[in-house]
Structure 1
């Protein structure tokens, strides 16, 4: 990794810090490429990832100072490139916890909603300002943010460029936890430790299955649920989890 994405590990947890504080961690192609490189081949011992930003901001979206003029075909390919990277974060197999502060704007909100657990500090502000820039979301917000907010509110936030604060973001589901100022990373690490102690297969099933079941007809989703439970509950970890519960001890998942 380069200086624009700092990576450190604490046991089974990898902490990724976007490091462009002078730009409020605005997303350049180089930064998104570094994030993609990590998720394409994470350290073997990593069970959970924590994603955060340096300098009081998560990510202020695309770095418009590095904007490159593209024709329609190039714009489609660039958007689909972002989609592939966001899918790798969401469906790569590793739970991802994001610690959100300051700007969570545009592409930063698209990145945040590709993570599985989101912790917001009071300074966090959520916004999709593309309508005010004469552009449209291209990194997956129409699906990921749209499913959280619903089409009606998604239309409003894009038309007006309205900013939601941390409390509003929590009530809308853009964040799952609200903490005090400066407490986001500590809470994210606490949650990551809890998630890392789960059985790896059940974590994997939750990441892979639940959002896909949402896309399915009810009967199809229920069938996929049955497949997941069959795989998870017949695994060695499930046997260990039940034994640990009966013996009143913490499970030792491997």
Structure 2
């Protein structure tokens, strides 16, 4: 999977401590098939073995225009169910893995492409990015985890609106809705995503692991159960040698203080 060979459905490159994973079906607007999802799973496994963070992007003019409908329309009912569950397992690997995954979004972020982005931890959208959930107009329903992940990001009502009407939403509005964290000028998405990935890669590994795995689970718990798990994770992360060294560095003024944002 090294390099960016045209025959690869997903490209993979290690840049320092950052794995760069690219959807590579530009002629299909990077539509997601079962083969693409399996290739993403292999890339995630490799990234977790050798990187401290990862960036997912799309080659060509679009991040991902969604499900490969040509493949989907021919599936028997049981195969469609099994395929959806496979997507769930693989996208869960991104969301609840051991390293942060950041998506760089441009052009179409539609259907399954939005579901993939929602499984990442931080989403960076170029101003050109547009988001769509056209399932209602296609006679289908989401199957890649969107009913959980996207609905939690922007709310079930907004997601339902997009699915019922087929309308698209631009990057600035999606940022206001909570679907993306950063909006950057055209052509700067991958650069910004790499910058963010490098920042997260500097964190203590145990802290990153706790953030990626405890937060989504706490969200599914009652308040009391969530607070209990928070206490356990707080104690576990604080007990690591790396945490002790980082805290001592701060107390001894070898580490900087939290500063106000430079841009307001």
- Counterpart of 1:248 in structure 2 is 253
Give the Å deviation of 1:68: 4.4
- Counterpart of 2:30 in structure 1 is 25
Q: Is the counterpart of residue 15 in structure 1 residue 43 in structure 2?
A: no
User: TM-score normalised to the size of structure 1?
Assistant: 0.95
**Structure 1: which 5+ residue stretches go unaligned?**
none
Partners of 1:243 and 1:119 lie apart in 2 by: 33
- Counterpart of 1:217 in structure 2 is 222
> Secondary structure of the residue that 1:51 maps to in structure 2?
strand
- Counterpart of 2:202 in structure 1 is 197
What are the equivalent positions in structure 2 for 1:24-43 lying under 5 Å apart?
24-42=29-47
- Counterpart of 1:111 in structure 2 is 116
State the Cα deviation string for residues 33-83 of structure 1 (Å, max 9, x = none). 100112234363301000000112111101223334233322211111110
Larger displacement relative to structure 2 (118-127 or 72-81): 72-81
User: TM-score normalised to the size of structure 2?
Assistant: 0.92
- Counterpart of 1:56 in structure 2 is 61
Give the Å deviation of 1:156: 1.0
Partners of 1:70 and 1:63 lie apart in 2 by: 12
Q: CA RMSD in A?
A: 1.4
- Counterpart of 2:182 in structure 1 is 177
Q: Is the counterpart of residue 150 in structure 1 residue 150 in structure 2?
A: no
**Structure 2: which 5+ residue stretches go unaligned?**
2-6, 257-264
> Secondary structure of the residue that 2:12 maps to in structure 1?
strand
Partners of 1:224 and 1:218 lie apart in 2 by: 10
> Secondary structure of the residue that 1:219 maps to in structure 2?
helix
Partners of 1:71 and 1:22 lie apart in 2 by: 26
Partners of 2:71 and 2:222 lie apart in 1 by: 42
Give the Å deviation of 1:250: 4.6
